[in-house]
Structure 1
Amino acid sequence: MAHDPGADFLVLVGGVVVENDGNALACVFGGGLPLTGSDGIFLGAIGVSGGAVSQDMEVALAAVSGLGW
């Protein structure tokens, strides 16, 4: 089995790798939130990085709350 240099990082942050036929497309972990309108239409997103996942989520939630979402 080949060593995946990102595997240790993913274990630390609790990330999930989205793959297509074994090719990593994205690494998903806490720190981002989608922004949707009252009709459920996707408008955009907010993403925060730099702290622990729990800290990033706390800041993202505060930002979304500050926007009135």
Structure 2
Amino acid sequence: MYLIHRETKKYPDGIIEISVTIVNEKDLSHKNYTYSLNSEYVSRQFHSLLRMGKKLHGSALTLLNKSKIKTD
């Protein structure tokens, strides 16, 4: 599994949307996801982990899942 970063959008109200594609290396299937965050720090941590290589892409995805804004 590895991530492809699609885009990061920052809105005036402080919301940050990060769009990624998750690719399964075994069969090369992929799915697109968008995560909404309210923390600049988490966004920087995600980008830092992403740049460090494929070994840390799982950690980057975990960070997004734990930090996303809960919607009802």
Superposition TM-score, scaled by structure 2 size: 0.30
Going by fraction, where is helix more abundant, 1 or 2? 2
Larger-gyration structure (1/2): 1
Question: Normalized against structure 1, the TM-score is what?
Answer: 0.31
